[in-house]
């Protein structure tokens, strides 16, 4: 730690928060549970999982510079001894939230969580530089959320925390840890429908985010969703103020006008309850415009600067795996690569294919990986991608994974296609067929491994 900045935690504070016993006095500047991510001055939390036990990596963590650890058995190095390290991490997260006097925004939804969280961070950080905290990566589960809280500096003025779920009750537990002043649901789609049965059930599970709202908090809800009224009813039951966002009339935060920007994004005029704002969304696609409206609603709700938010949106292009765009080698020329390889569900597939159809390109190529956790609806939902593929005027579809078989059958004879088993086979086909001025979209569930295809094309290997 440099200068006179206070430590993130002292051993005494950790012991008090967790009910543990400190072996020695120490202070830490960060928190990690993965020994590969430990840096100098960090606190290492030795979590016990189904397959691994963090206690086996204590030497590695201290060799990387850990200043102390939370453990459930005594060790020679500085530590806080607790009965259960997982519960200790939750307790540390609760203590971090309790000492934070600023405003907290919680973000959930079937699509757009991470992108919205990152954009909110950028918007608020322009307003109060260095005083905004966020969850990193997609740390949005029962481990990632308390870790993100535990990492929150004590002087944070704003925090933006992503929360995910794939079973009932998970989001309720997370939101009670986070206790947001503002809770956003970006969109509802049949992601994880295998575990819920219906899209309405998914909406009910997402609505759990409102259960942790602070008194007088604000619920930000997608007006255009067929589950809007369900979400509103759940939020009202918690005493929340309701702000809706959407692309047209009726929403509290809505688009007045939108036209394509010369840089590939969208020029937007938006109406808010207390303001009108003109801004540019750098990331192309209607779904990114919709997410920007949720962002503006949240910034206004926490007293942020809308002008700064507009500037942040103009600077934010897509994230790796979530819309990042790059030019790659293609024969004697270059091709546009759109990287959406991190995740996929029917709603996000349709949105990104719609945007692909707007790209000015010699040919449009879609590399689509299987959508996971769709249960008994999997065949029908995969086959239904035929329509957005055709509407996007896709010249070549490369389908990856056995779940894509119904779509391959639907498309047979309707457009050029290849159906392969894995990302490596897809990579070879792309290399063989890619031409200058093509636009290639790569999208699928993360477990399909299409990020390897993106990396191979980007590296020119």
The annotated binding site is made up of 109-115
d(CA 177, CA 149): 8
d(CA 227, CA 366): 30
- C-alpha count within 13 angstroms, C-beta hemisphere, residue 39: 4
Outline where 134-187 has alpha helix (H). Answer: 144-150, 170-178
Residue 230 class from Cβ within 10 Å (0-12 exposed, 13-18 middle, 19+ buried)? middle
**Contacts of residue 271, Cβ cutoff 8 Å, sequence gap at least 6:** 253, 254, 255, 256
Q: Which residues define the annotated binding site for ATP?
A: 109-115
The angle formed by the CA atoms of residues 350, 356 and 358, to the nearest 5 degrees, is 115
d(CA 52, CA 310): 44
Reading the block at residue 456, the tokens are 């191979």
The angle formed by the CA atoms of residues 342, 346 and 350, to the nearest 5 degrees, is 90
Residue in 101, 99, 93, 85 with CA at minimum distance from that of residue 20: 85
Most distant CA pair in the chain, distance: 71
In the chain, count H helices and then E strands: 16, 22
d(CA 417, CA 408): 8
For tokens 């537990």, the residue is 173
């Amino acid at each position: 730690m440099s200068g006179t900045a206070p430590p993130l935690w002292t051993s005494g504070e950790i012991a008090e928060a967790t009910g543990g016993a400190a072996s020695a006095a120490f202070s830490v500047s960060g928190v990690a549970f993965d020994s590969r991510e430990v840096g100098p001055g960090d606190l290492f939390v030795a979590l016990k999982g189904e397959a691994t036990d963090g206690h086996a990596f204590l030497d590695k963590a201290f060799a990387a510079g850990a200043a102390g650890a939370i453990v459930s058995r005594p060790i020679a190095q500085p530590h806080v001894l607790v009965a259960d390290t997982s519960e200790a991490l939750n307790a540390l997260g609760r203590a971090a939230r309790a000492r934070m006097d600023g405003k907290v925004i919680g973000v959930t939804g079937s699509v757009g969580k991470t992108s919205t969280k990152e954009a909110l961070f950028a918007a608020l950080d322009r307003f109060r530089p260095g005083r905004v905290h966020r969850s990193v990566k997609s740390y949005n589960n029962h481990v990632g959320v308390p870790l993100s809280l535990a990492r929150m500096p004590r002087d944070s003025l704003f925090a933006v925390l992503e929360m995910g779920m794939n079973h009932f009750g998970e989001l309720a537990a997370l939101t009670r840890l986070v206790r947001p002043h503002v809770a956003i649901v970006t969109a509802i789609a049949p992601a994880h429908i295998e575990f819920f049965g219906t899209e309405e059930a998914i909406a009910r599970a997402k609505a759990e985010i409102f259960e942790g709202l602070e008194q007088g908090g604000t619920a930000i809800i997608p007006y255009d969703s067929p589950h809007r009224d369900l979400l509103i009813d759940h939020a009202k039951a918690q005493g929340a103020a309701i702000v809706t966002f959407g692309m047209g009339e009726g929403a509290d935060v809505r688009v007045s006008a939108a036209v394509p920007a010369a840089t590939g994004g969208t020029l937007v005029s938006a109406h808010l309850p207390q303001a009108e704002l003109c801004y540019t969304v750098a990331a192309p696609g209607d779904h990114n415009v919709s997410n920007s409206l949720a962002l503006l609603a949240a910034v206004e709700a926490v007293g942020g600067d809308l002008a700064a938010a507009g500037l942040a949106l103009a600077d934010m292009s897509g994230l790796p795996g979530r819309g990042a765009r790059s030019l790659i080698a293609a024969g004697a020329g270059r091709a546009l690569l759109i990287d959406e390889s991190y995740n996929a569900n029917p709603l996000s597939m349709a949105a990104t294919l719609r945007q692909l159809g707007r790209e000015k390109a010699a040919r449009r190529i879609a590399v689509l990986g299987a959508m996971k956790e769709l249960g008994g609806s999997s065949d029908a939902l995969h086959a239904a991608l035929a329509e957005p593929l055709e509407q996007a005027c896709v010249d070549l579809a490369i389908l990856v994974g056995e779940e894509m078989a119904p779509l391959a059958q639907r498309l047979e004879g309707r457009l050029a296609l290849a159906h392969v088993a894995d990302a490596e086979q897809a990579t070879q086909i792309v290399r063989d067929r890619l031409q200058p001025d093509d636009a290639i979209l790569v999208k699928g569930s993360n477990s399909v491994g299409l990020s390897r295809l993106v990396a191979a094309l980007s590296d020119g290997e």
